Every structure is written in structure tokens, then in C-alpha cells.
Amino acid sequence: MPIIKENVEMYMGPQEVGGPDDLRKTIVDFIDGATKRLYVAVQELDSVDIAKAIIRARQKKVLVKLVLEGNYLTVKKGVETPFESMGEHEVNRQIHDAILRSAVNVKSDYNPSIFHQKFIIRDGDALLTGSTNFTDTGTSTNLNHIVIIHDKKVAKIYEKEFKEIQQGHFGKLNEGHDPAPDDTVVSEIPVRILFAPDHSPEMEIMKQMLKAKKRIDFAIFTFAKSSGIDDTMIALNNAGLKIRGAIDGKQANQKWAATHPIHQVGVELYRVPKQGGLRKLHHKLMVIDEQVVIVGSFNYTGPANRLNDENIIILGDLESTNESSISKQKELAVYALNEIDRIIDNFGRPIN
């Protein structure tokens, strides 16, 4: 079961690998709730169930706009039989065609780096985001999270970003370099939203980490030495802060990974290799002092900070003084922390 604190919801999954929540159903139900407009920005869409929900929305006369990473819709080399199925990512192209035939406004991204967003804005008053791609693997075999926020101000922030994405504004081509959105509060929970590359999420994560007084826990797909987050982690560990984390097994073994430097100083680290029905640890999840949760699409890498289209949400604030607010923040954090515990206990391999 998800945790729901009034207008803030958090889901951890998928159920197929022991998670508490059905990620595919969560996305489909969110889409099915649309009555006016639906803006979807996602790296990859190969789930037929999610595609059908998008098409259903359009058939109900909902205004639907969709932006996808173009790399899954093209081929690197032409073939002699282009009217026949072509193997890898063919389902992406078939879904793309079906959505086009449903009169949905579809664009491929203009970013030569990775269009890594995973968000939906519904009816101008609700947002769905997180680490989950709208794929069969993303919703059934990869460890992921989803956050839903029912709030007009939050939706408006993401609508502004979506319009810029549709116009091809990103990185150096985003001539305006928009300032970071104003912080807001939803159901007494502080909410801070940042987009890469404009707002340097890496720096914000480092700032949040530096506020920690007790512990930092994380589960991450890709953690590179280029991020700067590793240096902050090493400094905090050397100052006596307890730090524990899980990293996807394949990514943890890469030469450029931060695994060795942070483990060498004593950070408690676990590899999560492919096993049984589990394919990847795909979270981008951090919990600070069992109170602040950082979620979204942002991996801990230099390219994610400088080049990719990304988003993060910080739920909570260690400087909060309102007891009711702190209680809600901690409940969200404990839910996320319990999932990190489960991942480490069930799938983790200590890095020695």
C-alpha cells in the first residue's frame, strides 16, 4: 500500500519483485483520471497498457500532449526492408504510430543528450513523477518509485517546464536559463522542485546532505565520480555521519563509478545485481535524517546535471519547526527508508 499524506502520495515497487505497490496500475489510474488535459514527458514508452490509457484519454476528448526520447523511435542504420518489424525498440515505434493515429500531439525531444524526464501533469492540478519509465521493465522488473502531488502550483511549475521542452529549450539552447521555481508547501509538507540542466540539482542535493545531523540513506541506479555528490559524501562520512546506500550492481562496477572512493572511506555500500525477476535497481532516491526525501529522475552523474533533461523534488525540510509538518515529513521518509531497507536486506550484496 502507498503512503498518502493528504495531497502527497508515494509509491514504491514494483510488486513483481516484492515492492508494496503496483506501479503500472498507479500510472494507468492517474492517466484515466484526466478530464481536461494531459501533458506527458517521459524518456521511454513501451508499455501497451499505459499507451492504451493515453489513447483512452484522447478518445474522451482530453487534450493530450506527449514528448518522448527520440532514440527509441529511430534506427542507427537503414535496412533493406523498412516496412517490416525491426527487432529492438520496435514496440516503441508501434506504440508511437498508434498514438499518432489517435490524434495525440507527439513530439520527440530536441536534446542530443538524454531526455530523461518521467512526469505527467493532469488537468492543471496534479503531478505524477519519479524514477519510473513507462515501460514493461520499468513497472515490473526494475526497482522504482512514483510520487503524486495534487496541487495547482506544483502542476503549474511542471506545465511551464513542459512548454519549454515542447519548444526545444534545453541546456545551451534554453536562452532564458530560468530561475529555480519558488518553494511551496503541500499538505504542510515543504516541496522544492528543480530541473536539470537549468537549476543544478547536484548542488541542491549536496546542500541538503550538508544539513544532515544523523544519517543519509540512498538507493541509486548510477553514481559517478563526476557528480560531486561523492565528495560531499566522503567529507560527511569522515566527519562521523552514518551513510548507507545501495547501487545497481552493473553500474557499481563501472570504472567511472564512485563506488570505490566512497566505500574506501567507510560508507556502508551494497551492490544490487540482476537476480531472479529483478533486472535493475533504478531508483534515484535519498533519505536524509529520516525526514527529508529526494525523489525524481536524476542520477548522480555529471551529464545528468549538465546535459540531460531531468527533475527532482525535495519533500521536507530539516529546518521545519511545525510539529505536524515534521510528523508528516517523517512518515514519508520512513516509507522510503523501509523500501531501501527491503532492497538491501533482500537483494543487496555488501561491497567488501
Specify the pLDDT at position 321: 96
C-alpha to C-alpha distance for 247 and 266, rounded to whole angstroms: 15
Same domain, 150 and 35: yes
Mean pLDDT of 181-189: 96
Residue 172, in any domain of the structure = no
Q: Which one, of 282, 266, 262, lies nearest residue 274 by Cα?
A: 282
Beta strand 189-196 with 184-186 is antiparallel
Neighbours of 345 (CB within 10 A): 9
Q: Is the pLDDT of residue 251 over 90?
A: yes
- Comparing 216 with 97, the larger pLDDT belongs to 216
CATH number at residue 52: 3.30.870.10
**Res. 230: pLDDT tops 80:** yes
240 and 103 in a single domain? The answer is: no
Percentage of the chain lying above the pLDDT 70 cut: 92
Supply the pLDDT for residue 69. 80
Q: Are 333 and 292 in contact (CB under 8 A)?
A: yes
User: Is residue 159 located within the same domain as residue 41?
Assistant: yes
Residue 78 has pLDDT above 90, yes or no: no
Contact 222, 195 (CB under 8 A): no
Per-residue pLDDT at 171 exceeds 70: no
Q: Let me know if 318 is exposed, middle or buried by CB neighbors in 10 A (0-12, 13-18, 19+).
A: middle
- Answer yes or no: is pLDDT of 190 > 80: yes
Amino acid sitting at position 226: S
Q: For the residues 140-154, what does the mean pLDDT come to?
A: 98
Residue 46 sits in the same domain as residue 190: no
Least confident of 138-147, 168-177, 179-188: 168-177
* Same domain membership, residue 81 and residue 150: yes
The kind and range of the H/E element at 305 are helix 302-306
Q: Is 313 helix (H, G, I), strand (E, B) or coil?
A: strand
Neighbour-count burial of 248, counting CB atoms closer than 10 A to its CB (0-12 exposed, 13-18 middle, 19+ buried): buried
pLDDT of residue 52: 96
> What pLDDT score does 100 carry?
86
Question: Could you give the maximum distance between any two Cα atoms of the chain, in Å?
Answer: 67
pTM, rounded to two decimals: 0.94
The confidence band for 233, taking pLDDT boundaries of 50, 70 and 90, is: very high
pLDDT at site 175: 47
SS3 sequence of 190-223: EEEEEEECCCCHHHHHHHHHHCCCCEEEEEECCE
Instruction: Write down the pLDDT at residue 305.
Output: 81
Note whether 158 and 188 are same-domain residues: no
| Average per-residue pLDDT for the chain | 91
Predicted local confidence at residue 70, as pLDDT: 64
Q: Which of 10, 25, 199, 45 is nearest to 115 (CA)?
A: 45
Cβ neighbours around 103 below 10 Å, total: 11
Res 169: pLDDT = 67
- Confirm whether 191 is domain-assigned: yes
Same domain flag for 91 and 219: no
> Mean pLDDT, to the nearest integer, of 121-144?
97
Give the position of cell 540513506: 217
- The whole-number pLDDT of residue 76 equals 67
Are 152 and 204 members of one domain? no
Q: Residue 13's domain spans which residues?
A: 3-166
Q: Identify whether the C-beta of residue 315 lies closer than 8 Å to the C-beta of residue 189.
A: yes
Do 106 and 189 fall into the same domain?
Answer: no
Check whether 34 has a pLDDT greater than 60: yes
For 276-285, write each residue's pLDDT tens digit.
999 999 999 9
Give long-range contacts, CB 8 A cutoff, 24+ apart: 320-327. 320/190, 322/188, 324/188, 325/185, 325/188, 325/189, 325/190, 326/291
Distance, in Å, from the CA atom of 164 to the CA atom of 157, rounded to the nearest integer, reads 11
- Residue 325 phi/psi, 5-degree rounding, is -65, -45
Q: Is residue 281 part of a domain?
A: yes
Report the number of distinct structural domains present in the chain: 2
Report the pLDDT averaged over residues 85-102: 80
Confidence of residue 226 (pLDDT cuts 50, 70, 90): confident
Is 171 contained in some domain? no
pLDDT of residue 229: 94
DSSP 115-179: B--EEEEETTTEEEEES--BSHHHHHTEEEEEEEE--HHHHHHHHHHHHHHHTT--GGG-TT-PP
Distance CA 69, CA 49 (A): 19
Residue 165: the pLDDT is 84
Reduced to 3 states, what is the DSSP secondary structure of residue 269? strand
Quote the distance between the C-alpha of residue 22 and its chain's center: 16
